[in-house]
Structure 1
Amino acid sequence: MFHKICAKKTDECSMLPETTKKLRKPKPWKHPHPITVEQLKQTREEFWDTAPHYGGQREIWDALQAAAEAELSLAQTIVDSAGIIVSSADMTVCYDERGAKYELPKYVLSEPTNLVRDS
């Protein structure tokens, strides 16, 4: 289901996915190579450090990071409070109220099935 989002000053409108999607955990996934907890942490930090440079608002990126790192119920509250439009229930595709698209890789949302834990 879609709804119309219009810019307040220009009356430009775009069709965006309905905002009422309930968040869910991403489906299990496998990294191309076994990855350690430390490598996953570093990859996530690199993504969050560079993500705002690809467009969108810094505040939305910050909210998405907070939601990605939170439990599902808190994540839902964060995206709802920030006005984030969740297109994919696993948060891999989201939009802000201006229509900017935010794509999140699975590795920032969950751990791979082949994660190597320190023994």
Structure 2
Amino acid sequence: MGCAGSSQTKGDRTVKKIRKPKPWKLPQPITKTHLMQMRDEFWDTAPHYGGKKEIWDALQAAAEADLDLAQAIVDGAGIIVQNADLTVCYDERGAKYEIPKYVLTEPTNLIRDS
């Protein structure tokens, strides 16, 4: 039994609760269509950055899910979350996975397509 201030742990590591990234903006405003193209390109090329394809697939599913489902996906895949917003994660073998914020949320200076 833990005290009120204890953290949930999985094995010998603390499990970070996932949250959305803080509001941010790109140097130049972009359209929703361009943002979606950038996201598609990232996920298409992500396995080439290193790590396992299965982990990249789990991270993509988590990035596209609501927070509760994302937490379950990350926990089930054994992903170690360094930054609670999923921008930096590791697999159980120590491979690093970095996800840009534009993949996880929309920038504040997004231009809606007309």
> Do they fold alike, i.e. is TM over 0.5?
yes
Unmatched 5+ residue regions in structure 1?
Answer: 1-17
Residues 80-107 of structure 1, C-alpha deviations (whole Å, 9 max, x = no match): 0100000000000000011000000000
Say which of 46, 51, 54 aligns to 2:49: 54
Matched letter for residue 110 of structure 1:
T
Closer, same or farther in 2 for the Cα pair 1:43/1:19, shift >3 Å?
farther
Q: Which residue of the partner structure matches residue 34 of structure 1?
A: 29
Judge conservation of contact 1:68–1:108 (CA < 8 Å) in 2: yes
Residues 57-116 of structure 1, C-alpha deviations (whole Å, 9 max, x = no match): 000000000000111111001000100000000000000011000000000010000011
Paired residues, number: 106
Alpha-carbon separation, structure 1, partners of 2:42 and 2:92: 22
Unmatched 5+ residue regions in structure 2?
Answer: 1-12
Runs (4+) of structure 1 moved beyond 3 Å? none
User: How far 1:19 moved relative to its partner?
Assistant: 4.3
Larger strand proportion, structure 1 or 2? 1
Q: RMSD in angstroms over aligned alpha carbons?
A: 2.0
Judge conservation of contact 1:19–1:86 (CA < 8 Å) in 2: no
Say which of 104, 111, 119 aligns to 2:99: 104
